[in-house]
Amino acid sequence: MTNRITKLFNIKYPIIQAGMIWNSGWQLASAASNSGILGLIGAGSMYPEVLREHIQKCKKATDKPFGVNVPMLYPNIQEVMDIIVEEEVKIVFTSAGNPKTWTSWLQEHGITVVHVVSSVKFALKAQDAGVDAVVAEGFEAGGHNGRDETTTLTLIPMVKEHIKIPLIAAGGIATGRAMLATMVLGADGVQVGSRFVASEESSAHINFKQVVVDAKEGDTQLTLKELAPVRLIKNKFFNEIQELYKTAPNPEQLKTLLGRARSKKGMFEGDLDNGELEIGQISGLIHDIKPVSQIVEAMMREFEEAKKEVLDF
């Protein structure tokens, strides 16, 4: 299929594999790109030179387009951006920051820029900053999230009503049916995260992948809004947060409990008790660990089948 997203990224299908920390290394990104979608390396969990290594390995593993996701709240941001330019990465997804800060600079170096937002307000700011497209991410999504708790079902048509640039839907999308639904609502493509966590090529620890597969409805919840809202699987650490909330903690107390490297401990090292286990609500529909190629194939097959069903309705 051909539309604004496939043309923008020169890909076969309008699907983006999300750049998730501790999950999205070069193996996942290259497998995604080789499957006809856009693969993203998640720079948020990488020191600059580690990112360089992943970019170089990704270039060797695929001749298809791929990009890098850069959360702008992380340190060493200038070094990260310099490496992206030096390694001739052509697509960057930015998040967690002001898109005006880097958009023009990246575009001057021939890079396509996409910014992740969680509201109409920030979608308009991203468009005004000159980004080439936006990802509108609903409340269902895993990891860090918007404070407004706007669901994908309502966010996508509201953003579509106000912007002219290409729109990518994210949050609660792991199937071809969900992909079709968001595109009917106005999205030009979709960004998929949680489904690719449970892939063979994901860099997540097998313990975490299995927890995702075993997750049921209601097993995740958004928390830590006073710091940076994050959707987590309910585990020992999550329960400790809830107990602390009973004492009406201030942000410093929450930071003390959070400590350092919680997400690495949970998702990358497989500590299911003491780590952050970030995943979306859609985990309740993920039942197996598959190669990326099979995930993409199944999504597109279901998308086409669902489209025919709607036309026959």
What pLDDT digit, counting tens, does each position of 178-227 carry?
A: 999 999 999 999 999 999 999 999 999 999 999 999 999 999 999 998 88
The percent of residues above 90 in pLDDT, for the chain, comes to 89
CB 174 within 8 A of CB 282: yes
pLDDT at 75 over 90: no
What mean pLDDT comes out for the span 22-31? 96
CA distance 130 to 125: 9
**Beta strands across the sheet bearing 112-117:** 15-17, 189-192, 167-170, 133-137, 112-117, 91-95, 66-71, 39-42
CB 148 within 8 A of CB 130: no
CA distance 174 to 252: 36
CA distance 32 to 131: 23
Residue 278, pLDDT score: 95
CA distance 93 to 104: 13
What mean pLDDT comes out for the span 286-307? 97
For residue 42, what is the enclosing H or E element?
strand 39-42
b/e 158-172 (16+ beta carbons within 10 angstroms → b): ebbeebebbbbbbbb
CA 309, 188, 197 angle in degrees (round to 5)? Answer: 85
Name the nearest CA neighbour of 131 among 114, 117, 119: 114
Radius of gyration of the chain (CA): 18
Name the nearest CA neighbour of 147 among 89, 211, 223, 208: 223
What mean pLDDT comes out for the span 258-262? 88
Strand pairing report for 230-233 and 220-223: antiparallel
Q: Please state at what angle helix 292-312 crosses helix 26-34, rounded to 10 degrees.
A: 40
Q: Tell me the two tokens of residue 289.
A: 């660990």
Q: Tell me the two tokens of residue 74.
A: 């992380």
pLDDT tens, residue by residue, 98-150: 999 999 999 999 999 999 999 999 999 999 999 999 999 999 998 887 778 89
CA distance 103 to 78: 13
pLDDT tens, residue by residue, 46-63: 999 999 999 999 999 999
pLDDT at 313 over 90: no
CB 72 within 8 A of CB 102: yes
Residue 202, pLDDT score: 97
Residue 146, pLDDT score: 77
CB 193 within 8 A of CB 93: no
3-state helix, strand, coil in the chain (%, to 5): 45, 15, 40
